């Protein structure tokens, strides 16, 4: 990648980040929402740890990685709406008539999504700390959780962008997202220890990338991490992220042909 | 002495979109360097598609084009460095300030540091946005937004500027201001401007040469005066009280001395007369005899509307409404047979 592409990627990323910071309502909601999840689910399911299999006696400890990953999913899957707006407004076409590197335009989506997910994840981890959560895996474990949620955000952000460029309809993105968000979350270990899930659910969860991110993060955050689990799930997420970005780059090319 | 290469040269462009919509059907455009060229036509005539191809956004199915001497298909990157584009839709980022929009645009062309700051200040000043530059674009008026769009297209001092319907949607005051701005741009040394518009008045006022576009190709081209001069005499428009019989009225009026090019459409009758004022009494009498009661009659010097009528075979306003109804039914109505 040329230095031009790198600096241009940064310019375009900066532009997107600035746009987020300038929408305080959006910013506040995306930070308050995890707090509500933590508070609601933390209290609602407080006693389930007594069932065993959670690896901790504090449900909050168990819940934090679940909420971090769920929030990464919840915010990234709307990325396509922004792309759609840029297409409709003509901003994307304006950039396409300049000599800007085409990959810089696509990279910026990925980098911005990664930075936003990282900030959101760190805030939730800090909120957990305030609420008295314990992180036995230390800084290293938390870092892996954040990386896992960034990878998951990359997967869904890229897919959402591809969908936006392909169907060009807000309704489709809204429909698919509302359809997917809860099943993807509940068919994972977000709220319930895998050993307490019905076995058919466990099998489905094994194929759920949202669950991969939670398992990798949780495992790394435990006092005695199982590194093969972390690497296995993390590697699968990385592969999926690469595939999703490749797909959205392809759709971007087909968008350029359809103008 | 060799003539300088044209700034824009497009030959035989053909472009179809899915669903068998032919947007361009053998489009030819040549724009001499340093001039203002107007592509005039109703919505859906193919003006925007032409601009998209010339600005490297879209690829034609066939045909070739060079802009500022570079082939749009083989060297799109060189074309992009040489052109400025002001699209129909404002491409400005609404959540950034005017200044930020300009700075980013400049950076994409490789401007930086003091040179970038200087250029951005200069443009904000020139387009009367110096004060508004620090404000978020979402709060801009239509006229301010359009001025910012033009400024964005000029950041890197392009050789060729594309203005795709620069005044559509502007109120009359902002439109006049934009016209003044474009006239001033035309005076910039060496700048070539390709302008598309569906306002006859706009093309007449701004462009040195005009190509009239209809159904994806150029039907006639020349200076506004040449185009108007090719029309013999005056246009006489008569409004009937009731719809007349097209065949009968056409036959009756065509027989009158000094009257040519009779067109009857519903209640509207248009003819061309060597001497408009002198032809009116005979015209009215002939209509009376044919049983068509007259509501109003006007005589006008030739306008671009008449040029359009002559070369595209239909009225401008009619072509506009046809292109709108076309989105519902893809079938093209034959000219002059609209109702």
Tens digits of pLDDT across chain B (339 residues): 455 789 999 999 999 998 888 999 999 999 999 999 999 988 888 999 999 999 999 999 999 999 999 999 999 999 999 999 999 888 999 999 999 999 999 999 999 999 999 999 999 999 999 999 999 999 999 999 999 999 999 999 999 999 999 998 888 898 999 999 999 998 877 899 999 998 888 998 999 999 999 899 999 999 988 887 777 678 888 999 988 888 888 888 888 888 888 888 888 898 888 888 888 898 899 998 888 889 998 888 777 777 777 777 777 777 767 665 544 333 333 333 333
Integer Cα distance of B211 and B223 in angstroms = 9
> Does B81 reach chain A within 8 Å, measured CB to CB?
yes
Residue boundaries of the structural domains of chain B: 8-227, 232-301
**Is residue A59 in some structural domain?**
yes
**Which of B82, B107, B158, B165 is the best mutation test for A, with the most CBs of A within 10 A?**
B107
Total domains present in chain A = 1
**Is residue A254 in some structural domain?**
yes
Topology of the domain covering B8-227: Rossmann fold (3.40.50)
> Torsion-angle region of residue B34: left (phi > 0), alpha (psi -120 to 50) or beta?
left
CB contact (8 A) between residue A97 and residue B105: no
**Is residue A1 in some structural domain?**
no
Angle at B233 between CA B227 and CA B236, to 5 degrees: 105
Q: Write the ipTM.
A: 0.88
DSSP helix/strand/coil, A99:
coil
Integer Cα distance of B12 and B7 in angstroms = 17
**Is residue A7 in some structural domain?**
no
**Is residue A110 in some structural domain?**
yes
**Is residue A176 in some structural domain?**
yes
Which residues from chain B sit within 8 angstroms of residue A91, using beta carbons? Answer: 91-93
**Is residue A97 in some structural domain?**
yes
**Is residue A86 in some structural domain?**
yes
A137: closest CA of chain B, how far (Å): 41
CB contact (8 A) between residue B85 and residue A97: yes
Which architecture does CATH list for B232-301? 2-Layer Sandwich (3.30)
């Amino acid at each position: 990648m040329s230095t031009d592409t790198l600096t241009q990627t940064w310019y375009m990323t900066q532009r997107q980040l600035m746009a987020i910071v300038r929408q305080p309502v959006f910013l506040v909601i995306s930070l308050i929402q995890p707090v509500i999840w933590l508070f609601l689910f933390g209290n609602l399911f407080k006693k389930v740890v007594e069932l065993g299999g959670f690896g901790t006696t504090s449900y909050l400890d168990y819940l934090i990685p679940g909420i971090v990953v769920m929030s990464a999913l919840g915010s990234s899957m709307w990325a396509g709406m922004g792309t759609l707006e840029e297409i409709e407004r003509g901003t994307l076409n304006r950039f396409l008539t300049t000599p800007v590197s085409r990959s810089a335009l696509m990279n910026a989506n990925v980098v911005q999504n990664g930075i936003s997910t990282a900030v959101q994840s760190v805030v939730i981890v800090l909120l957990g700390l305030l609420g008295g959560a314990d992180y036995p895996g230390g800084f290293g474990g938390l870092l892996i959780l954040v990386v896992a949620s960034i990878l998951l955000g990359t997967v869904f952000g890229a897919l959402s962008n591809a969908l936006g460029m392909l169907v060009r309809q807000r309704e489709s993105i809204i429909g698919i997202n509302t359809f997917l968000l809860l099943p993807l979350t509940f068919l994972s270990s977000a709220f319930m220890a895998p050993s307490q899930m019905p076995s058919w659910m466990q099998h489905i969860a094994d194929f759920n990338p949202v669950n991969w991110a939670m398992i990798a993060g949780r495992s790394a955050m435990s006092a005695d991490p199982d590194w093969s689990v972390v690497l296995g799930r993390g590697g699968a997420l990385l592969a999926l992220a690469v595939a999703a970005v490749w797909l959205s780059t392809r759709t971007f090319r087909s968008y350029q042909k359809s103008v | 002495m060799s003539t300088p290469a044209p700034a824009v040269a497009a030959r035989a462009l053909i472009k179809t979109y899915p669903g068998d919509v032919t947007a361009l059907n053998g489009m030819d455009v040549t724009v001499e360097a340093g001039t203002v060229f107007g592509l005039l036509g109703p919505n859906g005539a193919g003006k925007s598609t032409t601009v998209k191809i010339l600005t490297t956004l879209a690829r034609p199915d066939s045909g070739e084009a060079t802009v500022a001497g570079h082939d749009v298909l083989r060297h799109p990157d060189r074309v992009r460095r040489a052109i400025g584009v002001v699209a129909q839709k404002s491409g400005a980022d609404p959540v950034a300030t005017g200044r930020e929009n300009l700075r980013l645009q400049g950076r994409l062309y490789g401007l930086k540091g003091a040179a970038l700051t200087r250029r951005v200040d200069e443009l904000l000043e020139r387009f009367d946005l110096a004060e508004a530059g620090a404000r978020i674009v979402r709060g801009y008026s239509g006229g301010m937004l359009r001025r910012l769009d033009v400024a964005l297209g000029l950041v890197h001092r392009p050789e060729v500027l594309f203005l795709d319907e620069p005044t559509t949607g502007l109120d009359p005051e902002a439109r006049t201001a934009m016209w003044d701005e474009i006239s001033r741009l035309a005076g910039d040394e060496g700048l070539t401007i390709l302008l598309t518009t569906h306002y006859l008045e706009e093309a007449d006022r701004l462009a040195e040469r005009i190509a009239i576009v209809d159904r994806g190709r150029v039907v006639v081209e020349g200076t506004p005066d040449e185009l108007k001069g090719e029309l013999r005499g005056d246009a006489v428009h008569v409004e009937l009280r009731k719809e007349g019989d097209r065949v009968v009225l056409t036959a009756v009026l065509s027989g009158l001395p000094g009257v040519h090019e009779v067109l009857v459409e519903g209640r509207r009758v248009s003819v061309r007369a060597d001497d408009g004022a002198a032809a009116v009494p005979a015209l009215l009498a002939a209509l009376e005899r044919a049983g068509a009661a007259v509501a109003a009659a006007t005589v006008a010097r030739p306008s671009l509307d008449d040029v359009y009528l002559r070369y595209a075979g239909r009225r401008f306003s009619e072509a506009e409404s046809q292109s709108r109804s076309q989105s519902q039914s893809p079938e093209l109505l034959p000219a002059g047979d609209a109702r």
